[in-house]
Amino acid sequence: MRIFKFGGASVKDAAGVQRVASIVQHFTADDILIVVSAMGKTTNALEDLVKSFLNGKKEDCSKQLKDLKNSHQQIIDELFPQSNERLTNEVGELFLQLETIVESPAVGSFNQVYDQIVGFGELISTKIVSAYLNFEGFENRWLDARKLIRTDQNYRAARVNWNLTRRLVLDNVKSGNSYITQGFIGSDDNFNPTTLGREGSDYTASVIAYVLQAEEVTIWKDVPGVLNGDPKVFQGTELLKKISFREAIELAFYGASVIHPKTIQPLQERGVPLRVRSFSDLDQEGTTISEGVNLEPFLPCFIRKSNQQLISLATRDLAFIAEDHLSKIYKLFHEYGLRVNLSQHAATSSSFCVNDDPIATPALLEQLKQSFDVSVIGDLELYTVRHYDNSAVADIQSRGRKLLEQVSTDTYQIVIRI
Ligand code: ASP
Ligand code: MG
């Protein structure tokens, strides 16, 4: 079994769905399980719907729902020359369920309501893609990922229950068939819908590949593969042909956004290679992430994280910041869900570079101020260069004023102000 994943950008319009069909036609000899995200920016639109719903804005809800219906209907109309009654009914039914949710009182916490609503993007997109591929002669069965991926109740960032998921996937996926299912969603033990975190469809593909011990996972993208930096941020970026699992985990950890960070680990455990390929050029091999070669070609890899804050803490009585202080500080960061991207410690002060979170950071700072003198510098950028060389470092240093720098054998990091 091969696992293919198509993200929102690759199914953002009818042409995208047609391209999916033309790609899978090249693989008719294999069993394929295709994981698909919501079309285009649908998940963002559904997040807005959640907000309108929870703020009691009925008119906004109706308008937002209508827009979503229209944009999907337009794609359906473009794909099918004659109306496809079954698809119309199935998509209509999903929209009806969504409408029922936002017209009834909210059930559960914010995060739970979020998960009841946003997963519809994937349910609808997969209905459309599945119907179109069948229409084009690529026979496939539609699977409801809520009946495959069992998770805990940590809504919006649900964790996979591997034992149950394994059983469910093996019960539902049989060799000799091809399938289409949703990325990003699952359900808890009570069949409440859950989501795996934004951009979580890659992870779904990886979970299923793990269970099925798939031959390969392919993520089809609008870029030729994984580059050594985001071309919107860095000049002269090049395609990386091979990356080891370990290096890929490192890159994801530092914020390389091509791959969802949780995706690699299950694949590594099973030795399932991950390929990132361009859906517009089938002749290109793309990038293969697998056991073996660390990086080929061996190039510095550049990662930028924007919207960073540097929080500096000093003891009031000039006491050393020691392990007991630090363990309390890190516990607070953890409680507020803020990951420390970089830290540096001196005798009586410590600095922490974290993402600026408009809700969590002010609350955390209040807590920290009870024990420390706190100063904060915002609007910063954190650059990481894996496998740095002099010219890579010079390039990054020239981008702004240096506030913090850290160098290890493989990795150079710097916090700068533009
Ligand atoms: N549709 C979801 C999102 O936009 C999941 C994904 O695209 O991977 O976050
Ligand atoms: Mg998406």
CA 328 to ligand 2 centroid distance, Å:
37
Torsion sign (Cα): 219, 221, 226, 229: negative
C-beta neighbour count of 75 within 10 angstroms: 24
Atom of ligand 1 nearest to the CA of 202: 8
Q: Give the pLDDT of the chain (418 residues) as one tens digit per residue.
A: 999 999 999 999 999 999 999 999 999 888 999 999 999 999 999 999 999 999 999 999 999 999 999 999 999 999 999 999 999 999 999 999 999 999 999 999 999 999 999 999 999 999 999 999 999 999 999 999 999 999 999 999 999 999 999 999 999 999 999 999 999 999 999 999 999 999 999 999 999 999 999 999 999 998 899 999 999 999 999 999 999 999 999 998 888 877 777 899 999 999 999 999 999 899 999 999 999 999 999 999 999 999 999 999 999 888 888 888 999 999 999 999 899 999 999 988 999 999 998 888 999 999 999 999 999 999 999 999 999 999 999 999 999 999 999 999 999 999 999 8
CA torsion angle 396 397 400 401 (round to 10): 150
Residue 323 tokens, joined: 């392990």
Number of C-beta neighbours around residue 171 at 10 A: 10
Which residue among 48, 198, 222, 263 is best mutated to probe the pocket of ligand 1, counting the most ligand atoms within 8 A of its Cβ? 198
Tell me how crowded residue 213 is: count the other CB atoms within 10 A of its CB.
10
Domain ranges of the chain: 2-221, 301-417
Closest approach atom of ligand 1 to CA 41: 4
2-221: CATH class: alpha beta
Q: Look-up: residue for tokens 């069965």?
A: 141
How far apart CA 341 and CA 339 sit, in angstroms, is 6
| Strand-pair category, 349-355 with 340-345 | antiparallel
3-state class (DSSP) for residue 151 = strand
141 close to 180: Cβ distance less than 8 angstroms = yes
Which residue's CA is the closest to the ligand 1 atom numbered 5?
199
Phi, psi of 356 (to 5 degrees): -80, 110
For the CA of 182, the nearest ligand: 1
Those residues whose beta carbon sits under 5 angstroms from the ion ligand 2 are 8, 37
As given in the structure block, the two tokens for residue 46 are 């559904």
Residues pairing with 160 in the sheet: 151
Given this chain, do its domains 2-221 and 301-417 carry the same CATH topology? no
Output the six-digit token pair for 330.
């890190």
Output the residue whose Cα is nearest ligand 1's atom 8: 199
- Tracing tokens 């719903």 back to the chain, one arrives at 53
Burial class of residue 175, CB neighbours in 10 A (0-12, 13-18, 19+) = exposed
pTM: 0.90
Distance CA 58, CA 261 (A): 37
**What HEC string does 148-178 produce?**
CCEECCCCCCCCECHHHHHHHHHHHCCCCCC
The burial of 172, by beta-carbon neighbours within 10 Å (0-12 exposed, 13-18 middle, 19 or more buried), is given as middle
- Class of 301-417 per CATH? alpha beta
Question: In this structure, what DSSP letter does residue 222 have?
Answer: S
Distance 297 CA to ligand 1 centre (A): 30
Ligand nearest to the CA of 183: 1
Centre of ligand 1 to C-alpha 198, Å, is 5
DSSP 314-359: E-TT-----HHHHHHHHHHHHHTT--EEEEEE-SSEEEEEEE--TT
Quote the Cα angle for 166-170-176, to 5°: 150
Any idea which ligand is nearest the CA of 203? 1
To test the pocket of ligand 1, the residue of 34, 41, 114, 199 to mutate (highest count of ligand atoms within 8 Å of its CB) is: 199
Ligand number, closest to the Cα atom of 184 = 1
**CB distance 217 to 225 below 8 Å:** no
| 156 Cβ contact list (under 8 Å, min separation 6) | 111, 114, 115, 195, 197
DSSP state of 25: G
Q: Of all protein residues, whose CA lies closest to atom 2 belonging to ligand 1? A: 199
**What residue ranges line ligand 1, CB within 6 angstroms?**
7-8, 37-38, 43, 121, 183-184, 198-201
Q: Which ligand 1 atom minimizes the distance to the CA of 7?
A: 7
Q: Where are the beta strands (DSSP E) in 151-201?
A: 179-182, 185-187, 193-195
